[in-house]
Structure 1
Amino acid sequence: MTTLVQGDTLKITTVVPAYKPQFLKYLLASLMQQTERPHQVIFSDDTEDLTFARALLLDPLKTALADLNVKVVQGPRKGAAANWRHCLQAWDVQTELVHVLCDDDYLFPQFYEQHRKAHESGRFSATVSRRYYADIDGVCLQCALEVPPEIASVGSRYLRIDAATLFPLVVPSCTNWLGEVSNMVMHREAATLLAFPSFDGIPFSGLEDIGSVLCASVQDPICYIAEHLGYFRMHPQQNTMQFTSRPVKLAVLAWGALAVIGRQRGLLNHKHAKVALAKSLFMAQEVFAADAEMKPFIDLIPAALAEQPQALTQWIALWNGFAAQS
């Protein structure tokens, strides 16, 4: 295997919002085996005792990782969303492309090479590759994200998808077939959405990854790479496994926000937007029926289904206030 550091081609900076040190050796192995290594790897160490900094900045790892151009900054210790923003601030738009790599996920050897080639094949706001699921030990499971038939039936490796196509394929079903930040590489002009998840004055906190790709596609299309280039590790520490947590509440309601954005932009028709908003509210009712914080949203279901004029205005006001607390 020939390992190259990106030279005159588009450069990718990898930023790692780090707080789960038990997966560090796997993360480093996936970075070291890349056919093209990123320009720089920035860790934002959010642990209380700076576990990542102590490991990465001292031998033997410091010497072993000399070719990886590692930088470590102290994290803000204010939660996952704040650490994402901190990572991106440390990057400071120093390269054309940026990749937010979660510290428990894993990349296959051609990840950066394929994403770089995809970005160089046209003007794209983001590139998104397929990925597998894996268990806590990194064993790939016999399952992956199920993509829509319109995408699965296309034979090419790189598929250009614009906003008018992407919104209807994602939002009405409230289904994430795109994945997460670990299998996405953002152009610098689109990366701001990851740090500040809002579009047209409507926040999409809770679905920062999917929402950023969707909203970025309004400016420039995305490139979908029809190849599995990594895996998403499932384990009890993940926010998505804490079913009654605030991040999950935000994610459920954010589908409604994306429906409103899509409708206002003319990217979703009336039926699609109504279906998505209703699904979001019904998911909230199913999971959080006894939750006082979610009750105002659940109480809006009859008015939303009846399409009462004030229902959408009330929902937006409720959502803006709720998201502002995140």
Structure 2
Amino acid sequence: MKYPLVSVVIPAYNRPHTLQIAIDSVLEQTYPNIEIVICDDSSNNNVQEMLVPYLNAFPQIKYFKNEKNLFLENWHKCYNLASGEYINYLMDDDVFHKEKIAKMICYFREFENITLVTSYRQTINESGVFIPPLYATDRLYQETRIMDGKQLANIALSRCLNVIGEPTTVLFKKADLIDPFGVYLGKQYSLLNDLASWLNLLSKGKAVYIPEALSYFRIHPNQNNQTLGPKVFSEWLDITIAARDDGFLETNDLYKAALHSYLNRVKDHHQFSSDIKRIEMILTTL
């Protein structure tokens, strides 16, 4: 049986301890043909030093240290350096289940027109202990579902929640994502770069949702969505409007649900007053 190459791409930044755990979870995969591409955006050499024994022992690991901080460009660099037919991002503080790639890739091989495979992701704390799910990470279904991509996207957009998953969660074909990661309809999203790419993929085909926990999403004080607070919502309105223009949220009821969900999220934050007025104007036209 032929096993197409899967590239696990890791944009690393100043987390050698959790990065080591993440790498080990890839090396333990039951799927036999994986390369690991690590692009290091760290402000020190701690990650590089931790990786020395790995680079000596595992030729499938490719490591690149950036001369300066690239931020979002580091995500693009990882992607461009990947040789695999399939791509799975892995955040340097998350973890794969050992059968993640093997179980997900089966759906691409057994069904037609699959552009995205995701799963339930188990939340863990800083120490790796299981913790209750966040609202966005609740299990969507109790059984595996293959659905139209727009259906899954509409669930996320209408709830103003990324129920599809963080970058670690999703496996996709490299050929299906033409735009750089996080670019949707010509705009680069930084806080919603994962959702932007999921919309690109979901506009082209079917999605698979697996209810089994095939990745582990670490919640800790230093991660972006914990330190940015309400700023994480600052791109939701733009991506919702863009998605409507792109054929998602195709009924007025779905579009209204998405706008009202956003309103409920930001109504107590004064910095979103202009967005609230913008939505009120949109609602008058529907």
Please, what TM-score do these two structures have when normalized by structure 2?
0.86
Instruction: Give the equivalent residue in structure 1 for 2:50.
Output: 55
Q: Do the aligned partners of 1:253 and 1:284 also contact (CA within 8 Å) in 2?
A: no
Q: Deviations over 1:218-250 (max 9, x none)?
A: 112122223111210011111100134xxx53x
Tell me the C-alpha RMSD between the 2 structures.
Answer: 2.6
CA drift at 1:79: 5.6
Q: Do the aligned partners of 2:119 and 2:169 also contact (CA within 8 Å) in 1?
A: yes
The secondary structure found in structure 2 opposite 1:125 is: strand
Q: Distance in 1 between matches of 2:132 and 2:264?
A: 30
Q: Deviations over 1:1-20 (max 9, x none)?
A: xxxxxx82222011100012
When residues 179 and 196 of structure 1 are mapped into structure 2, their CA distance, relative to the original with a 3 A threshold, is closer
Q: Do the aligned partners of 1:14 and 1:42 also contact (CA within 8 Å) in 2?
A: yes
Instruction: Give the equivalent residue in structure 2 for 1:231.
Output: 216
The secondary structure found in structure 2 opposite 1:36 is: coil
When residues 304 and 203 of structure 1 are mapped into structure 2, their CA distance, relative to the original with a 3 A threshold, is farther
Q: Is 1:270 aligned to 2:252, yes or no?
A: yes
Q: Which of these residues, 32, 39, 42, is aligned with residue 37 of structure 2? A: 42
The secondary structure found in structure 2 opposite 1:99 is: strand
Q: Do the aligned partners of 1:125 and 1:221 also contact (CA within 8 Å) in 2?
A: yes
Q: Distance in 2 between matches of 1:137 and 1:237?
A: 13
When residues 242 and 142 of structure 1 are mapped into structure 2, their CA distance, relative to the original with a 3 A threshold, is closer
Q: Do the aligned partners of 1:77 and 1:83 also contact (CA within 8 Å) in 2?
A: no
Q: Distance in 2 between matches of 1:143 and 1:107?
A: 17
1:162 counterpart letter in structure 2 = D
2:103 counterpart letter in structure 1 = Q
Q: Distance in 1 between matches of 2:265 and 2:131?
A: 27
Q: Identity percentage over the alignment?
A: 21
Q: Distance in 2 between matches of 1:217 and 1:54?
A: 39
Instruction: Give the equivalent residue in structure 2 for 1:11.
Output: 5
> Which of structures 1 and 2 has the larger relative contact order (alpha carbons within 8 angstroms, sep 6+)?
2
The secondary structure found in structure 2 opposite 1:171 is: helix
Q: Distance in 2 between matches of 1:194 and 1:99?
A: 14
| Equivalent residue pairs, number | 281
Q: Is 1:103 aligned to 2:99, yes or no?
A: no
Task: Give unmatched runs, 5+ long, in structure 2.
Answer: none
1:218 counterpart letter in structure 2 = S
The secondary structure found in structure 2 opposite 1:10 is: coil
Q: Distance in 2 between matches of 1:108 and 1:301?
A: 41
Q: Which of these residues, 210, 217, 224, is aligned with residue 195 of structure 2? A: 210
Q: Do the aligned partners of 1:138 and 1:233 also contact (CA within 8 Å) in 2?
A: yes
Instruction: Give the equivalent residue in structure 2 for 1:318.
Output: none
Q: Distance in 2 between matches of 1:185 and 1:77?
A: 29
Q: Which runs of 4+ in 1 moved over 4 A?
A: 201-205
Q: Do the aligned partners of 1:45 and 1:72 also contact (CA within 8 Å) in 2?
A: yes
Q: Deviations over 1:136-177 (max 9, x none)?
A: 0001124372244xxx25x4x4x3221342233221111222
1:18 counterpart letter in structure 2 = A
